[in-house]
Structure 1
Amino acid sequence: MKKIKIFLMIIGTVFVVSCESNTYDQISVPVTNPTYVANVQPVIRANCTGCHNSGGQFPNLGTYDQLKTAIVTGDVICKIDGSCGSIMPTGGKMPQGTIDMIKLWTANGFINQ
């Protein structure tokens, strides 16, 4: 019985050590032409508008125009990538693929579709 327990412990350890973990960004296909409606809006809703919406913290990010203005005139991008100090959202930095997608959206001219 003791040999069986030891054997099961060894097998369990090998199984745990041999597992590989991939993040969503590592297995997902990068977005090459992001748009606000299809790609950016869901991310902003999930990560930002809980605080940054009408009646909430400045800047308001609840609409396309509000987000675009906040990016052009403010420091939204450096807040989400952490290059200007504190990182947003406060719960932790978004995955790098998501940040890169938002940066690409801005570089492509804020496509709204």
Structure 2
Amino acid sequence: MKNVLTVFVFAFLFLLSCSNDSESDLTGPQTGNENEFVTYNDNIKAVISNNCLSCHSSPPTNGAPFSLTTYTQVKNRAENGSLLAAISKQTGEAGAMPPTGRMPQATIDLVEQWIADGLLED
């Protein structure tokens, strides 16, 4: 009986330790029309505003080394690969952004699609 209880406790703890993926983590970026390109003003600006500007403002705060307040600043970071590299890292990994926790995979995919679409502004 003690072995059964031990197995049950370990199984219960194992189930509690599993992560919970939301539907937005599992589905691709939602741009409305799959034939449309992802653009900075329509899609990426809100991502940057909601996840980056608390530190990457103008002037930068909390030790952020650069601003991400304009299209050109964000585009430059996307072109050199540092934007996607930082947001693709796992929470707790050195250089992972935002430091408050990883964005949903669908949001990261949206940024990746914006880069693939040519970093369009409008």
Q: TM-score, with normalisation over the residues of structure 1?
A: 0.71
* 110 and 29 in structure 1: CA distance in 2 versus 1, 3 angstrom threshold: closer
Structure with max Cα Rg: 1
- Do structure 1's residue 34 and structure 2's residue 38 form an aligned pair? yes
Residue 24 of structure 1 deviates from its aligned partner by 5.0
Q: Is the 8 A contact 2:29 2:107 kept in 1?
A: no
Q: Normalized per residue, which structure has more helix? A: 1
- Do structure 1's residue 92 and structure 2's residue 96 form an aligned pair? no
Counterpart Cα distance in 2 of 1:58 and 1:92 = 19
Letter of the 2:79 counterpart: V
Moved over 2 A (4+): 21-24, 26-33, 83-86
Q: Is the 8 A contact 2:27 2:106 kept in 1?
A: no
**Partner secondary structure for residue 70 of structure 1:** helix
Q: Is the 8 A contact 2:77 2:83 kept in 1?
A: yes
Could you tell which deviates more after superposition, 72-81 or 24-33? 24-33
Letter of the 1:86 counterpart: G
Residue 54 of structure 1 deviates from its aligned partner by 1.3
* 71 and 59 in structure 1: CA distance in 2 versus 1, 3 angstrom threshold: farther
Q: TM-score, with normalisation over the residues of structure 2?
A: 0.66
Aligned residues with identical type, % of pairs: 31
Aligned CA RMSD, in angstroms, stands at 2.4
Identify the residue that residue 23 of structure 1 maps to in structure 2. Answer: 22
| Equivalences for residues 1-113 of structure 1 within 5 A | 23=22, 25=24, 26=26, 30-31=30-31, 32=34, 33-56=37-60, 57-73=64-80, 75-82=82-89, 85-113=94-122
